[in-house]
Amino acid sequence: MESLGVVVNPIAGMGGRVGLKGTDGKLEEARQRGAEPRAPDRALEALRALFRREPDLTVYTAANVLGERAVRDAGYEPVVVYEPATESDSKSESNPESEPEPATAETTAADTRAAVRAFLEHDVDLVLFVGGDGTAVDVAETLEAKREDDAEPTPMLGVPAGVKIYSSVFAVTPADAGRIVAEFDRVTSREVNDIDEAAYRDGEVRTELKAIATVPVASDVQSSKQVSSGTVDSLAAGFAREIDRDRTFVFGPGGTVGAIETELGVDPSPLGVDVWRDGDLLARDASESEILDVLEEPVTIVVSPIGGQGFVFGRGNHQISPAVIRRADEIEIVASGAKLDGIDSLRVDTDDETIDEELCGWTQVRTGRFTTRLVKVV
């Protein structure tokens, strides 16, 4: 591979830790809640991993926080082929040397699509994007719209930075993305899915296949999220029967954990994070800061892996941040046997390398009233 196109959605994932379950249509609210960008740091991590392996690549990108800054910080000399009109205008009117910060950058899906079109004009070998499912849709649809008849499709690969990741076009971690770009030699077709974020915030998952994309073949490209089947009633009953009421419980999202809360007499937020202690719901559908405000040690975090992917942290539960995880002395992973049958291993992607390393290794997953299964976190 000789050339690469890089585009970053700087606001992707900002709504996660503040409890918004996404940023679509909620950017201002996320900012008001104190949300911090995560996509630029993840872009830099991926590009540094790539630079260590392929320092001589030609890297085309978009101006400033849309890619230029991360590409330059990683060690490359970026070739900027797209600059948003709003950014150009704002520089000329005030300080020409000023650079927008990721948290306040006014970028849109149109910028992502325009950047990808510019990459194609330079015949890049692959488009590396940083964002979530919405960004994946923008990239995939643009690549398909610009593909000429009978031409080989340009491959794409995602660095996961969004709150929910339902598409199978993302590397498992940013570092994996950099390695895959440097080493892949084959491609395959994979799904690009997106969900209705408004319905998601109301506790309903509505997924839709948006595109089929060409993606590098690698073991560290994640699978599409699958919905598990089967009852978890016995698991929930067993967990609730043994509950230690002297502990504070942080309950992650999902139906399995929600069944435990229901057994405890709690009305769970299906896709949010709840905090419970000794019969009292201390916080419902809580943000990271709201969780930290009510935590009283000892603390148990209860999570269930995402079906088909195996993530227990870093997908759909960013509110359970590294700061929250550090406050916990116990982590309980729960899943039905049917869900585990479709998962080779468990995964974590917390944005904190030390915590990720500490969580790796073999762990017990509760699968029923009395049963557990030993599964490896990788």
Task: Give the model confidence (pLDDT) of 255-289 as tens digits.
Answer: 999 999 999 999 999 789 999 999 999 999 999 99
Instruction: Supply the CATH number for residue 207's domain.
Output: 3.40.50.10330
pLDDT reported for residue 276:
97
Q: Tell me: do 181 and 318 sit in the same domain.
A: no
Q: What is the pLDDT of residue 11?
A: 83
Among 216, 249, 279, give the residue marking a domain's end.
216
Same domain, 87 and 207: yes
Show the domain range for 153: 3-216
For residue 355, count CB atoms less than 10 angstroms from its CB and return exposed for 0-12, middle for 13-18, buried for 19 or more.
middle
Are 261 and 206 part of one and the same domain?
no
Whether residues 196 and 315 fall in one domain: no
User: Based on the structure, what is the number of domains in the chain?
Assistant: 2
What is the pLDDT at residue 263?
93
- Do residues 156 and 51 both lie within one domain? yes
| In a domain? residue 210 | yes
Cβ partners under 8 Å of residue 358, min gap 6: none
The verdict on 190 and 237 lying in the same domain is no
Q: Tell me whether residue 137 is in a domain.
A: yes
In a domain, 225, yes or no: no
Q: Is residue 315 part of a domain?
A: yes
Q: What's residue 92's pLDDT?
A: 39
pLDDT of residue 225: 59
Q: Where is the domain boundary, 158, 187, 216?
A: 216
d(CA 106, CA 333): 39
Beta-ladder partners of 283: 275
Same domain, 198 and 282: no
**pLDDT value of residue 371:** 78
Residue 223 located in a structural domain: no
Task: Give yes or no: residues 292 and 347 share one domain.
Answer: yes
Same-domain pairing of 191 and 329: no
Domain co-membership, 25 together with 85: yes
Strand order in the sheet with 79-82: 79-82, 58-62, 3-8, 127-131, 156-160
pLDDT, averaged per 10 consecutive residues of the chain (378 residues), comes to: 95 58 53 68 96 97 96 98 70 47 68 97 97 93 86 94 83 95 94 71 66 91 58 84 94 94 92 94 95 96 92 93 96 91 90 94 87 87
pLDDT of residue 205: 58
**210 and 237 co-located in one domain:** no
Instruction: Give the pLDDT score at 36.
Output: 66
Cα 73 to Cα 75: distance, rounded to the nearest angstrom: 5
Looking at 158, 184, 216, the residue that finishes a domain is 216
Shared domain for 115 and 210, answered yes or no, is yes
Strand order in the sheet with 299-303: 280-283, 274-277, 248-251, 299-303, 330-334, 361-366, 372-377
Residue 154 placed within a domain:
yes
- Which letter, b or e, does each residue of 198-225 get, where b requires 16 or more Cβ atoms within 10 Å of its Cβ? eebbeeebebeebbebbbbebebbbbbb
The structure's pTM equals 0.67
pLDDT of residue 209: 82
Does 224 reside within a domain? no
pLDDT at 66: 96
Residue 126 in contact with residue 154, Cβ under 8 Å? yes
Q: Is residue 96 part of a domain?
A: yes
What's phi and psi for 139, nearest 5 deg?
-70, -50
